[in-house]
Chains A and B, each alone.
Chain A
Amino acid sequence: MFDIIVLGGGPAGLSAAYSAWKAGAEKILIIERDKELGGILNQCVHNGFGLHYFKEELTGPEYAQRFIEMLKSTNVEVKLDTMVLDVSENKVVSAVNSVDGFMTLEAKAIILAMGCRERTRGAIAIPGDRPAGVYTAGSAQKYLNIDGYMVGKRVLILGSGDIGLIMARRMTLEGAKVLACVEVMPYSGGLNRNIVQCLNDFDIPLYLSHTIVDIQGKERVEKVIVAKVDESRRPINGTEMEFDCDTVLLSVGLIPENELTRGAGIEMDGRTNGAVVFENMETSLEGVFACGNVVHVHDLVDYVTAESARAGEAAAEYVKSGEKNAEIVTVKNGEGVTYTVPQKIRRTDNKFTEVFFRVNRVMADSKINVVSNGEVIATFKREHMAPGEMEKIIIPKKILDSASAEITIETKCEG
């Protein structure tokens, strides 16, 4: 019997396991399906990781390595090359690898840290032929950075998510011609610094409010037709542009990987596509915690690390003293808010509670209100908010004490 089994050895799993160990849990196991720890960080060779957590700009592999080194000072066990197949309601984990074969492992607490996967072409249904040469940006990144080969020479990128932007620069520097980045929304989905350093630096045009209307080619992509879209994202006739290219990269977002979570019957949130969690990252199933991209898609790994540290501490606490029973405050999404994490807050003696959320449009000079019973009980000011940047508010205990059993987070734009 393990104290804690952590599913997934990316930054979330590494941080959760390390914090659980520091908080006193003893028999901890990380199960990772890949041949090495580090998760998606291993293929993110660009820098920009760790500015908040380590106060330095690290590359993905360097960031992962710091945590792998930290784990060496603990007794945390690791099983690599091992695939978790199932998690049951009574916390039995079924997994398989080529050394141990099929195994069932029991734990007092479980931490879900399986990360997310990319949305694929089917998920957003582009019309046209189905030739070779259409990749998700992340798989192209993996081919280039881990295996060492380029997926194409003349590239068009659909979607302005960070992975696509990073790949635009990476492939350009490696000798490919990136013709354009095409984004259906009127704003970019990626960080500003990536627009500047990955597109502008190389004179790669960004077409906002545009989309691909046709992909042509028999065996391999030969031509892509791009058109402007109207406010309801429908292509406008007569605005078509042709691009001769052999490759299309899709950078159209990530989806948390939650087959195991659903299989365990854990309550899900349709907005985050992840589990509904309490302030300590516990799910609806007692003793099962979740953290990182499996809960909601993070833009910065530093936030993944912090969130996962909370999950690890809470799991260790659960192993020691069992479930906390307390009144629950439900968090609702108000005007301008797409989702919040946590979705539920227990009234504990925590001095404050952090609530993370995303807004649904770009907002200047705005207010974030916490509303209870139709009354604003706290207000936070922001000069700038955007869907691509996760927001955070810190609610002090006093405010939470004054709230009813349901609070709403809403935004009011004044600019």
Chain B
Amino acid sequence: MKEMICIVCPKGCHLKVDENNDYSVTGNACPRGAEYGKNELKNPMRMVTSTVKIEGALLRRCPVKTSVAIPKGKMFEVVQALNSVTVKSPIKCGDVIIKNVAGCEADIISAKSM
């Protein structure tokens, strides 16, 4: 049995998820909580945002993000992969900076035109 707080809406229900019983969820005030609780235990995903070094722009860092959410356990690997990257201005918001970062089905894309 795992306890967690549902973050789908501001109410923040305290959920209990039973891994041994097909991830059945209790404590949720609505069905969205049940789905959240299940996914959160089976396959938690997170968006990652960070910055990379940029040359030739007004500022020194270019904000970036993953194009879609990645498995939670891969977060550190993804951020690590950014340390050695330097991009050159001009760059457009949405430009792909690293394809399939850390072997995920997500790219690192620029979040700002610089």
Contact = CB atoms under 8 A, between A and B. Distances in A.
Interface stretch (A216-224, A383-391, A397-405): A383-391
A62 interface: yes
B84 to A, nearest CB: 14
A193 B7 CA distance: 5
A45 interface: yes
Q: How large is the interface on B (under 10, 10 to 19, 20 to 34, 35 or more residues)?
A: 20 to 34
A121 B46 CA distance: 33
Interface in A154-201: 170, 173-174, 191-193, 195-197, 200-201
Nearest to B40: A196
A391 B4 CA distance: 25
Contacts of B58: 35-36
Contact of A147 (B5, B7, B61, B79): B61
Contacts of B4: 196, 200
B75 interface: yes
Label chain A's interface by main secondary structure. helix
Contact of B47 (A47, A144, A386): A47
A145 B72 contact: no
Interface stretch (B16-24, B48-56, B95-103): B48-56
B113 A389 contact: no
A132 to B, nearest CB: 23
A146 interface: yes
A59 B60 contact: no
Nearest to A196: B7
A61 interface: yes
Given A145-B51, A148-B60, A195-B5, 4 more contacts: A45-B64, A59-B111, A65-B112, A197-B46
B63 interface: yes
B111 A173 contact: no
B5 A196 contact: yes
The bracket for how many chain A residues form the interface is: 20 to 34
A47 B49 contact: yes
Nearest to B8: A193
Across chains A and B, which 6 residue pairs bring their CB atoms closest together, nearest first? A45-B63, A61-B112, A193-B7, A192-B12, A59-B111, A173-B79
Contacts of A195: 5
B54 to A, nearest CB: 9
A36 B48 CA distance: 25
Contacts of A60: 63
Contacts of A148: 51, 53, 60-61
A173 to B, nearest CB: 5
Nearest to B52: A148
Nearest to A66: B93
A26 interface: no
15 contacts: A35-B58, A47-B47, A47-B65, A57-B47, A60-B63, A61-B93, A147-B60, A148-B61, A170-B50, A173-B75, A173-B76, A174-B50, A174-B79, A192-B12, A201-B75
A197 B5 CA distance: 11
B59 A62 contact: no
Given A59-B49, A145-B61, A173-B48, A192 B112 contact: no
A46 interface: yes
Nearest to B79: A173
A146 B11 CA distance: 34
A372 B82 CA distance: 59
B10 interface: yes
A196 B75 CA distance: 15
A192 B93 CA distance: 29
A389 B10 contact: yes
Contacts of A386: 10
A145 B53 CA distance: 10
A35 B7 CA distance: 36
Most buried by A among B5, B51, B72, B113: B51
Nearest to B47: A47
A384 B93 CA distance: 38
